[in-house]
Amino acid sequence: MSWYLSRIRLSRSPAVRVLEAALKESDAGQRRSSQHHMLWSAFAEDPNQKRDFLWRAESDGSFLTLSPRPPRDDNELFEPPQCKIFDPALKAGDKLAFLLQANATRMKRDTGKRVDVVMDALRHVPEEQRAEQRMDLAEKEGKFWLARQGEKAGFTFVPDEVQVEDYRTELLPRFNMGKRGIPTFGILSFAGQLEVTDPEAFLAQLVRGFGRAKAFGCGLMLIRRAA
């Protein structure tokens, strides 16, 4: 199956430009919810279709997507997409620079519930110390989570060659779950270098994405050959 890495930008049409406010919404959760709906329209051809693409928002207002089919070129919301075939030739031992925004979770054995790895670690820290320890815990728990991903997905890394650049939490107000409230999820931003140990396993996971909340712009790992 061919995969496509695409860059998508909002149309320059005056009728569409009014939507820019939603993409620049100061509330991160509101903004991500709007992006989620807009990106879906770039791929959906059937109301019952399941999401089969990964995406992430870029600082210049564009979006990068990874999908098994090109984005639609007849969507009035976006300019014609810039697409290229994604088929990297990798071998064991290859070193890659990468960027990843991920919702990192794990299953708790005692409760059977899935929890955000950083939020769960912060629960054990006195409230008055959480702000001070937040990024240290994000660094520790984030790298531990990423190492577990590598065990399954055919890569490894030297801890000093990977940085957790940011950790933030967001609410998704458009997805109020009633008695369960508005969902909150954490986003870890990784940057660094990894080494491929199993190219087949690595590429298989790369197109599936890493972590959860993939519908909301998490999980797409961007790679390039390390210098």
Tokens of 225: 């050959």
Confidence band, pLDDT 50/70/90 cuts, at residue 103: very high
Q: Comparing 18 with 83, which gets the higher pLDDT?
A: 83
pLDDT score of 19:
64
Q: Find the mean pLDDT for residues 78-91.
A: 94
Asked if domains 4-85 and 95-225 share a fold, the reply is yes
pLDDT score of 199:
97
Q: Coil, helix or strand for 92?
A: coil
Report how far residue 164's alpha carbon sits from residue 143's, in angstroms, rounded to the nearest whole number.
8
Q: Find the mean pLDDT for residues 2-12.
A: 91
Q: Comparing 180 with 210, which gets the higher pLDDT?
A: 210
pTM: 0.89
Q: Coil, helix or strand for 12?
A: coil
Report how far residue 194's alpha carbon sits from residue 223's, in angstroms, rounded to the nearest whole number.
10
Residue 73 per-residue DSSP state? S
Q: What is the pLDDT of residues 58-82, one digit of tens each?
A: 988 899 999 999 998 887 888 999 9
Residue 174 has pLDDT above 60, yes or no: no
pLDDT score of 97:
98
User: Token pair 């065990």 is at which residue?
Assistant: 151
- Average pLDDT of every residue of the chain: 88
Q: Say if CB 6 and CB 69 are below 8 A apart.
A: no
Q: Coil, helix or strand for 129?
A: helix
Q: Comparing 2 with 218, which gets the higher pLDDT?
A: 218
Confidence band, pLDDT 50/70/90 cuts, at residue 25: low
Q: Comparing 172 with 195, which gets the higher pLDDT?
A: 195
Confidence band, pLDDT 50/70/90 cuts, at residue 45: confident
Would you list the domain boundaries of the chain?
Answer: 4-85, 95-225
Q: What is the pLDDT of residues 135-164, one digit of tens each?
A: 999 999 999 999 999 999 999 999 999 999
pLDDT score of 43:
85
Q: Comparing 35 with 128, which gets the higher pLDDT?
A: 128
pLDDT score of 112:
78
CATH number of this structure's domain 4-85? 3.30.70
pLDDT score of 39:
87
Architecture of domain 95-225: 2-Layer Sandwich (3.30)
Q: What angle do CA 211, 53, 94 make, to 5 degrees?
A: 65
